[in-house]
Amino acid sequence: MNPFAGYRDAELIAKVATEIKNLELPRRIRIMEVCGGHTAAIYRFALHSLLPDTIELLSGPGCPVCVTPNSFIDHAIELAKLPDTVIATFGDLIRVPGTHLTLSAARAQGCDIRVFYSSADALEFAHENPRKRVIFLGVGFETTASTIASTMEHAVARGDRNFRLLSALKTMPGALNTLLSSSDVRVDGLILPGHVVTVAGTEPFEFIANSLHIPCAVAGFEPLDLMQSILAIATQTVKHESVIENKYRRAVRASGNVHAQRAMKRMFEETAIPWRGLGEIADSGLKLRSEFVHYDASTIEVTVPPSKENPACRCGEVLRGIVRPAECALFGTRCTPHSPVGACMVSSEGACAAVYYFQPEHVH
């Protein structure tokens, strides 16, 4: 029996869609999701088509690969050129363009760059190859950061000193504060990132409802989850309310996963970090604590040439909800999932890739 079958029940979804359409919204509202899994699900299940014209869905900075800037890729490539060095990475990141090369292209030129399914797998490789310096590229939000924290604890406990972390790990609350406080972005409701909130809890996001007065809902990843969250946000708008409604109770608690949070605090401290499209945001990145500096690959001396973003790519604007993917001149022509120019076209969680695969009418 499929445990998720009920969350894809066409009659239940249609009932929620009818409830949404029957609401008397005071104006056209823009609801943003900030989770790559939500972005993929919204396009996969064509949820836009179930909504009235009074509701517009936007994709925000919810894809970790997408918000990782070129400078991180450039840094990793320079580290890959060092002797006896292996770069260990998740699969999506290998195709993200840097200023001049992707990690995949650097590998074709002779660098030892390998794809692993988890940081734990990369650590085992380092343990089995003590003569190699293995640098893991840490990219992700709270969900991934907690698993990498556990891996780094294991590395330290076991004394695998040839294992290093180059961290581009990010936390979501500060980025959302920057995004939602921006004068060029209008968001009337927010679907909070389900996986992130599972770890962090709802408490770090309460400022969005309480101070920014933006209605919020936590959603799971099935179509009924998302439609119920959209209904909750739209209902709050009608009632002139702004609270966080938890529509993912089977996984999310207000306090989050305290064990994961403690692991992150033991290994990491907050730092400023650049986000594609948002710039550098204070205290939104995670770096290894000073007592673990030996495991920090950012302390390895390399010269990284000046980095720059492709001026024709509009990923930064897509991530802020300012433009839609098809409004970029590169979309579907020079930039496709098979030959991506921008990071938003690489990952299955990227808005550009989602539109390309699930809304073919928008492909040039």
Domain count, the chain: 2
Same domain? 198 vs 329: no
Supply the mean pLDDT for the chain.
Answer: 95
Please say if the pLDDT value at position 328 is more than 70: yes
Q: In which band, very low, low, confident or very high, does the pLDDT at 1 lie, cut at 50, 70 and 90? A: low
Contact 313, 342 (CB under 8 A): yes
Same domain? 327 vs 246: no
* Side chain identity at residue 320, one-letter code: R
Average pLDDT of the residues in 319-331 = 95
Find the domain containing 253 and state its range: 32-314
Same domain? 111 vs 202: yes
Same domain? 223 vs 242: yes
Same domain? 222 vs 322: no
Same domain? 221 vs 297: yes
Which conformational region is residue 203 in: left (phi greater than 0), alpha (psi within -120 to 50 degrees), or beta? Answer: alpha
- Kindly give, in sequence order, each residue whose CB lies less than 8 Å from that of residue 200, ignoring residues fewer than 6 positions away: 142, 171, 172, 173, 256, 261
* Side chain identity at residue 340, one-letter code: P
Average pLDDT of the residues in 25-34 = 95
User: In this predicted model, what pLDDT tens digit does every residue of 171-215 receive, in sequence order?
Assistant: 999 999 999 999 888 999 999 999 999 999 999 999 999 999 999
User: In this predicted model, what pLDDT tens digit does every residue of 98-153 receive, in sequence order?
Assistant: 999 999 999 999 999 999 999 999 999 999 999 999 999 999 999 999 999 999 99
pLDDT of residue 360: 75
Same domain? 37 vs 91: yes
Q: Is pTM, for the whole model, over 0.85? A: yes
Please say if the pLDDT value at position 362 is more than 90: no
- Tokens representing residue 21 in the block: 């359409």
Same domain? 206 vs 329: no
Average pLDDT of the residues in 316-338 = 95
Same domain? 327 vs 304: no
Same domain? 335 vs 292: no
Same domain? 125 vs 111: yes
Please say if the pLDDT value at position 280 is more than 70: yes
Task: Assess if residue 220 is contained within a domain.
Answer: yes
> Residue 199 belongs to a domain with what CATH number?
3.40.50.11740
